[in-house]
Amino acid sequence: MDRMNQAFEKMKMLVGMEVGDEEEQPEPSFLDDFNRNCTLSTKQSMLVFFHPIKFGITFSFGNVLALGSTAFLIGPKRQLTMMLDPVRIYATAIYMASIIIALFCAEYVQNKLLTLLAIVLEFGALVWYSLSYIPFARSMVSKIVAGCFDTEF
């Protein structure tokens, strides 16, 4: 066993690891590094409220890029066909209109409250548009929301 430990220590020296009697501390895992590098300060996480115009522009362009990336993956013709499908034509129209409204409010009107409301509208339209691709998801969400706000006993 002693001979094996000596061989192990020689291997450590060859690869550049320190050899010593100190207790080895576990290496930080990938998730630990990821969590440490992806933390936001309070100011960064509150960007929506401190700078809604800047956030509105980046969020809207991010949504446009997301649509472009799915068009890149499945092809623009198929993407357009799926977006104009009768099942989701209204969701697509509302989603596209909300992107335009958010960009208009952020770029031309430059009213923080109006831009914040446009961002909320855009986010809701994004969720509704995304749910249109999952069978029966919109009807399920509609029933849940109606059940939450139902006042009959």
pLDDT of residue 108: 93
pLDDT of residue 150: 82
Full-model pTM = 0.68
pLDDT of residue 14: 67
Contact criterion met (CB below 8 Å) for 87 and 132: yes
CA pair distance 118, 65, nearest whole angstrom: 18
What are the structural domain ranges in the chain? 42-148
Write out the two tokens for 23: 């207790």
pLDDT of residue 149: 87
Task: Encode the chain (153 residues) as per-residue pLDDT tens digits.
Answer: 677 777 777 767 666 666 555 555 667 677 777 777 777 677 776 767 778 888 899 999 999 999 999 999 999 999 999 999 999 999 999 999 999 999 999 999 999 899 999 999 999 999 999 999 999 999 999 999 898 888 776
Write out the two tokens for 132: 């249109």
Residue carrying the six token digits 């099942």: 87
pLDDT of residue 76: 93
Q: What is the gyration radius of the CA atoms in the chain, in angstroms?
A: 26
CA pair distance 144, 140, nearest whole angstrom: 6
